Amino acid sequence: MKKIIFASCLLISNTIFSQTLKDLLKLKKDSLEKLAKEKTNSVLKGHSPAAVPALTNEEVIKGLKEALTVGTNNSSGMASKLDGFYKNPKIFIPWPEEAKDMKTRLTKLGMTKKIAEFETSLNRAAEEAALKAAPVFIDAITNMSLLDGFAILKGVDTAATNYLRKTTYNPLKDKFLPVVKEAVAKVKVTSYWLPLATAYNKLPGVKKQNPNLDEYVTNKAINGLMSLIADEEIKIRKDPMARVTDLLKKVFGT
């Protein structure tokens, strides 16, 4: 009888020990699986599509220049269309500010139509010049000296365009001026200006006006195109669909 009781106790003890061991092993297994899952999620998170591979300064500089190049092509395409300047309030070229008194006097003389024709011719000249703007602007972008690409990448939404304007405006203007002169001649801006200037200069006591129209249209056309390029830069920074190359996706996908 004692042997039977001892055997029963031993069997119960072994059963309890076996169950306890199973529970411990299961707990250990669950713990290891949880740790492995956390590590896996951490690795996946670091390599998810939203994560951005490490960038070099050289890649950032190339990306910024590529963004400006894409922006230039898009902007010159928009600006060179009929009414690209004329019907865009943001870049419309108005009557020269230095001759505003002249415009006021001529308006009183009933020359509103002639004034409107002249303003239209200014914008037509800019639209014509925009047809050939891209190579000139892209040359300036290519030769633009950028040292710290990350500073511009992390700057304001138009930081690259602002840098382009700041560092290349004068050489850009020198190269773009002949393009504008050709456009001014083609749309005959001067022929619209002369009747107005002649009528005004006949008025007693007025200071004769003869603004440099080539210079005026050049400055306004450059500023207008820069404004459109800035808009394109903002799109590339904010809209993934605007990043049309692998480099743009890599650089601006932060």
Looking at residue 210, its pLDDT comes to: 86
Looking at residue 151, its pLDDT comes to: 95
Average pLDDT over residues 136-155: 95
Q: Per-residue DSSP letters for 79-119?
A: HTSTTTTTT-TTT---S-GGGHHHHHHHHHTT-HHHHHHHH
Average pLDDT over residues 148-177: 96
Say whether pLDDT at 24 is over 50.
no
Looking at residue 244, its pLDDT comes to: 95
- On the 0-12 / 13-18 / 19+ scale of CB atoms within 10 A, 5 is exposed
pLDDT band of 2, cuts 50, 70, 90: very low
- Distance from C-alpha of 6 to C-alpha of 19, rounded to nearest angstrom: 20
Please report, for residues 35, 55, 87, 107, the alpha-carbon distance to residue 190 in angstroms, rounded to integers and kept in the order given.
Answer: 79, 52, 21, 19
